[in-house]
């Protein structure tokens, strides 16, 4: 059993990095403004990277930078200068998938630790050994592996080669994320960070000899979503994950919200810590899956870990997310004497709302908003403006970075 594991969180921007660290991640992975696979995320300027790395390192956390596009010739022109800058910033590791990129790293940033992206689709121990000999410190395993295969890879690879696996988040329909569908359908190359997610679009089936005759694969007047995967969720299988030999537990979601990052991290942090504290007496808490269901998600699957996915691991009727709760605010400050918190609004809230407050210590509480004031101290009944600073009377003490949420009315 691993006595120590790493909880690795996504951070699409500087604010998400801070929340991931505060809510219990051991490390975060981020993208610069080039060479990452999430071009539509806000991503990090060099100035943001510097601030984020300082914030993380002060708290004993690590920062990994993605360089995992599959580059074309023109992509290589900016790479040497970019690597030299990363080398100066005290980045803990870079994540890459391309052998040419690895060669550039060795030449222009030889001190940087190298992690191999899941895009390289590493599915066996001989491949892992090959990359290890090239200087790779960690393998981000292909998502198409079972626990049995992972244990075999761990058994047959050097002990100081770390293994990383995805444990939560959106699943890509293509093998290890190597998708050509977006390039073909939308002229946006998913392997260069521009995926249009056509796997989430709705489709009809057309038989070759019957052009123009559109057949719904499942009887539905809206079509069907036969490429559309459920979301990965392994909260029920923490013991198996730890005992498989995986060192780093990776959450997907650099495009997701602060609330998604914070809440997902705090739940997995709690479950992992509970197991490591006492493996013999560990019991799964059904509250953990309930908490994960309170962020935007699709129905859950265990992916390839337990068995090969079947038709039950796809969603055929909708590509929409399940949204049970609204993320409505972030605590910026709290005055213990008055019990008043300064909150930055992230969704419209009203006096009389029944809300929940969560923090990094896992346990939260519920209350009704009884008093709410604007920044001039005038009592108000509604906070309608995006990122409006308001004051709320709290029933219990809170701290900076606490999150406010409210159950959606339709639920």
- Taking only the tens place, the pLDDT of each residue in 238-295 is 999 999 999 999 999 888 899 999 999 999 999 999 999 999 999 999 999 999 999 8
Q: Where are the domains of the chain?
A: 6-172+229-307, 180-226, 325-407
Instruction: List, in order, residues 6 or more apart from 2 with CB less than 8 Å away.
Output: 242, 243, 245, 246, 247
The predicted structure's pLDDT at residue 217: 57
pLDDT for residue 31 is more than 50: yes
| pLDDT tier at 209, thresholds 50, 70, 90 | confident
| pLDDT tier at 139, thresholds 50, 70, 90 | very high
Q: Do the domains 6-172+229-307 and 325-407 sit in the same CATH topology, yes or no?
A: no
The predicted structure's pLDDT at residue 34: 72
Phi, psi (degrees; rounded to nearest 5) at 266: -65, -35
Distance CA 347, CA 361 (A): 24
With contact defined as beta carbons under 8 Å apart, do 261 and 11 qualify?
Answer: yes
| pLDDT tier at 200, thresholds 50, 70, 90 | low
The contacts found for 102-107 with CB under 8 angstroms, 24 or more apart, are 102/134, 102/135, 102/136, 104/76, 104/79, 104/80, 105/67, 106/135, 107/80
- Our separate counts of H helices and E strands in the chain read 10, 21
Phi, psi (degrees; rounded to nearest 5) at 162: -80, 150
In three-state secondary structure terms, 294 is coil
Q: Which fold has domain 325-407?
A: Elongation Factor Tu (Ef-tu); domain 3 (2.40.30)
For 73-95, write each residue's pLDDT tens digit.
988 888 899 999 999 999 999 99
With contact defined as beta carbons under 8 Å apart, do 71 and 192 qualify?
Answer: yes
Kind of pairing, strands 365-368 and 382-383?
A: unpaired
| pLDDT tier at 219, thresholds 50, 70, 90 | very low
* pTM (predicted TM-score): 0.85
pLDDT for residue 338 is more than 60: yes
Per CATH, the homologous superfamily of domain 6-172+229-307 is Aldolase class I (3.20.20.70)
With contact defined as beta carbons under 8 Å apart, do 23 and 269 qualify?
Answer: yes
For 32-81, write each residue's pLDDT tens digit.
877 654 554 557 899 999 999 999 999 999 999 999 888 889 888 888 99
């Amino acid at each position: 059993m691993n006595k120590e594991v790493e909880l690795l969180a996504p951070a699409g921007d500087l604010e998400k990095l801070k929340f991931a660290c505060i809510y219990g991640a051991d490390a975060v992975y981020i993208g610069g403004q080039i060479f990452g696979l999430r071009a539509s995320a806000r991503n990090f300027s060099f100035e943001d990277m510097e601030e984020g790395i300082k914030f993380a390192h002060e708290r004993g956390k690590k920062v990994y930078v993605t360089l995992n596009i599959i580059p074309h010739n023109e992509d290589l022109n900016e790479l040497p200068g970019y690597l030299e800058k990363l080398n100066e910033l005290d980045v803990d590791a870079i994540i890459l998938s391309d052998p040419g990129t690895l060669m550039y790293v060795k030449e222009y940033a030889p001190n940087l630790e190298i992690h191999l992206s899941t895009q390289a689709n590493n599915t066996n121990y001989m491949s892992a050994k090959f990359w290890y000999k090239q200087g790779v410190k960690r393998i981000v395993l292909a998502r198409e592996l079972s626990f049995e295969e992972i244990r075999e890879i761990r058994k047959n690879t050097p002990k100081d080669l770390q293994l990383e696996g995805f444990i939560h988040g959106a699943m890509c329909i293509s093998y290890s994320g190597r998708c050509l569908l977006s390039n073909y359908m939308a002229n946006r190359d998913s392997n260069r960070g521009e995926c249009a997610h056509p796997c989430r679009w709705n489709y009809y089936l057309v038989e070759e000899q019957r052009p123009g005759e559109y057949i719904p694969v499942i009887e539905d007047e809206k079509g069907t979503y036969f490429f559309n995967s459920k979301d990965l969720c392994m909260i029920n299988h923490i013991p198996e994950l730890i005992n498989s030999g995986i060192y780093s537990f990776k959450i997907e979601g650099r495009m997701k919200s602060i609330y998604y990052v914070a809440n997902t991290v705090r739940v997995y942090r709690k479950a992992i810590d509970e197991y490591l504290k006492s493996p013999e007496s560990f019991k799964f808490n059904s509250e953990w899956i309930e908490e994960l269901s309170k962020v935007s998600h699709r129905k859950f699957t265990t992916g390839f870990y337990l068995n090969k996915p079947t038709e039950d691991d796809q969603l055929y009727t909708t590509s929409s997310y399940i949204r049970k709760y609204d993320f409505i605010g972030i605590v910026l400050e709290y005055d213990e004497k008055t019990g008043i918190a300064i909150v930055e609004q992230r969704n419209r809230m009203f006096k009389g709302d029944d809300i929940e407050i969560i923090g990094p210590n896992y346990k939260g509480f519920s209350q009704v908003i009884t008093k709410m004031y604007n920044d001039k101290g005038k009592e108000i009944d509604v906070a309608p403006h995006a990122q409006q600073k308001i004051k709320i009377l709290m029933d219990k003490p809170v701290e900076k970075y606490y999150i406010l949420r409210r159950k959606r009315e339709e639920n």
